[in-house]
Amino acid sequence: MDRMALPSLDELEAARERIRGRVRHTPLLSLCVAGATSDRPVYAKPENLQRTGSFKIRGASHFLARMDGAARARGVVTHSSGNHAQGVAAAAHDWGTSALVVIPEGAPPVKVERTRAWGAEVVRCANTSADRVGTAERYARERNATLVPPFDHPWIIAGQASIGLELHDDLADAANVVVCVGGGGLLAGITASLRRRGSTAQIVGVEPILAADASASFDTGAVVEWPAALVTRTVADGVRTQALGALTFAIIQAHVDGFVTVSEDEILDAAAWYARDAKLVVEPTGALTLAAYRRLIAGDAAMALRPGPTVLLVSGGNLEPSQLSALAVRQVPS
């Protein structure tokens, strides 16, 4: 895949304009973490501060903004383990249309409750990609509604790409950008916008060791699907997707520099550090990038950080109260 296969910069800038005022331009927050120095600062881009507590509202808002008015009025259907569910529910609320969201059993209750709070109808299903997609497609047909994909669609990727445009506006000389990956919409979007802006930053994808299908795909050069029984083992519920999408894989394979995988303890330690030391509520998925950074500075990864500023994408902060309490008392390294 060559550079021209990326969305154009004009397309990405137009997507950003369509959702301006519907999403927050999140800041870059300096982190006092081990390894950070004046010439190698570390920043978090806290998408947990979005209205729905995650970056997913960007892609969902852009998808609804691009829809034909008549189709939008008939309503939307989607499937999600929680954060995309809230993004679509909020976007539908903003546009004054209906949303039905298929959420698998095992999703965090707080994400289900917040999806309903935005006015969406929630339907539960078994915890596999096939069940999620099949159930959502059936409801979309029955209701003559539009299915909003969670990640593998140009409009979704372009919406998530607004993060990379903001990042480049605020820190054009970022040397390393570290991003978690599930279905790949976030990583593909940020990668597309940074590369289209001319950034030469090293872009690093992060996954749990227990759900490393994207890393396996990157290594083998073809999309690898992991069984639901494997990916659902990780505490990072936002990246339990069983495989990358075709569009997201093409961008990631061609333009991402490498992957780091991290353990469950490393994920929880990073989430606890955010709660204790950074005073940020970060769900395990959002803490993946800090866990990866720690591996990178320790030399425990197959790649190394480049000299200069590092940005850690914090994807979301939708935590169960009991989980937040457990993280607050967890003993973690500095």
Measured distance CA(334)–CA(316) in Å, rounded:
22
Measured distance CA(319)–CA(296) in Å, rounded:
26
* Residues known to be catalytic: 56, 81
Q: Indicate the Cα dihedral angle 290, 291, 297, 298, nearest 10°.
A: 160
DSSP codes, 127-166:
SSHHHHHHHHHHHHHHHTPEE--SSSSHHHHHHHHHHHHH
Contact 282, 48 (CB under 8 A): yes
Q: How many other CB atoms sit within 10 Å of the CB of residue 67?
A: 18
Contact 310, 174 (CB under 8 A): yes
Alpha-helical runs (H) found in the chain: 9-19, 56-66, 69-73, 83-95, 109-117, 129-143, 154-170, 185-196, 213-220, 228-231, 246-255, 264-273, 288-298, 321-328
Contact 149, 124 (CB under 8 A): no
Measured distance CA(178)–CA(275) in Å, rounded:
20
Q: What SS3 state is found at 283?
A: coil
